[in-house]
Structure 1
Amino acid sequence: MDASGDRMLGLLVRCRFDTGDLAMFTGHGTVDWEGVTYLGAGQMLSVGEAQTTSGEGIPGLSITLAGLDPEVVALAELEEFQRRRVTVFLALFDETGQIETADVLFDGVADTMESDDGPDTATTTLALEPRSMALGRKFPCYYLPEDQEKRFPGDQGFGLVQAIQNREDTWGRS
């Protein structure tokens, strides 16, 4: 991306939680990108340097929100955040403050959250790990009706497996 002239670079952060998306950027006001409205967090939003969060040497990232109301921090701690997708974009803004283009800088999942309820201001830091970390994890899946129901709600196909397994058929006999 070319950042010449009156253009500026900024970061867009999109967190996909169960209760809805949280979309912020390192500016003021609101901007739209690919159908998502990002709220300006200004200096309160910071993205840390990529750092290793696992023994395999795969770099993670951290996002910090400062200046939060302690009630907001308490609500954030109640949210199911682990394994939820988080995408950070590097955006190029034009002279009017609108996004010209944006590229994915980091695409990962939320790992841990730390909160600091200081006397002056409250901060929350969300540690992220890359989505590629899931490739090395084992996710057991068995051919049971319960597993099929989790993956495909309403599918009752595996409910017939037991009946088929114990069935005595006479194929090709007269």
Structure 2
Amino acid sequence: MDASGDRIVGLLVRCRFDTGDVNMFTGYGSVTWDGVTYLGAGQALSIGEAGVTSGDDIPGLTITLSGLDPEVIALAELEEFQRRRVTVLLALFNDQGQIETADVLWDGIADTMDSDDSPDAATTTLGMEPRSMELGRKFPFYYLPEDQQRRFPGDRFFDLVQAIQNREDTWGRP
């Protein structure tokens, strides 16, 4: 956390995994913001730089946890992390260590996880891509009963589409 005038600037990180959320911040102790409690990771939590590019390149962001127990790294590697949402907030703390305000600095999707479980410097780095990358992906969905059943089991709406697609109606004819 850095001092800025009489305020302290810090980062809140919220990772939403299947087994539960992991909420950390770049300080010590614990703080609560918007109903979520963040545990302090201090110097063990570092966030990479998000660059600005031109053209088709969209930069990512990395979060690194260092000084971890190798067993914790092994558990992290078993977690299903890809395509899970990660949000980084920029927070202003008062001199008592309470959050005054916070705003989204980064909203992305977890992509890669690299681990180094050496005894002297055990680290885990989570690589993320921005959520805007989702806009360029094609999601195969067709207006077929099978696709509708996968998304909404029991819904029979598209069963009628195939029955009426080649039907010739005589609307308004004698």
* Same fold flag (TM > 0.5): yes
When residues 138 and 115 of structure 1 are mapped into structure 2, their CA distance, relative to the original with a 3 A threshold, is same
Is the CA contact 1:69–1:121 (under 8 Å) kept in the aligned structure 2? no
Greater alpha carbon shift after TM alignment, 147-156 vs 63-72? 147-156
What are the within-5 Å matches in structure 2 for residues 4-153 of structure 1? Answer: 4-5=5-6, 7-51=7-51, 56-153=56-153
Any stretches of 5+ residues in structure 2 without a counterpart? none
- Deviation (angstroms), 1:172: 5.2
Please, what TM-score do these two structures have when normalized by structure 2? 0.87
Structure 1 residues 70 and 106, CA, compared in 2 at 3 Å: closer, same or farther?
same
Q: How many residues matched?
A: 171
Query: Within 2, Cα distance between the matches of 1:169 and 1:118?
Result: 72
Q: Distance in 2 between matches of 1:169 and 1:63?
A: 60
Moved over 4 A (4+): 165-174
Q: Percent of counterpart pairs with the same letter?
A: 77
Does structure 2 conserve the Cα–Cα contact (< 8 Å) formed by 1:117 and 1:123? yes
Q: Name the aligned partner's letter for residue 64 of structure 2.
A: T
TM-score by length of 1: 0.87
Q: Could you report, residue by residue, the CA deviation over 1:96-138 in whole angstroms, capped at 9, with x for unpaired residues?
A: 1110001111111111110001122321000111111111121
Note the C-alpha offset of 1:9.
0.6
Please give the alpha-carbon distance, in whole angstroms, between the structure 2 residues aligned to 1:96 and 1:132: 36
| Deviation, structure 1 residue 169 | 6.0
Distance in 2 between residues matched to 1:66 and 1:19, nearest whole Å: 22
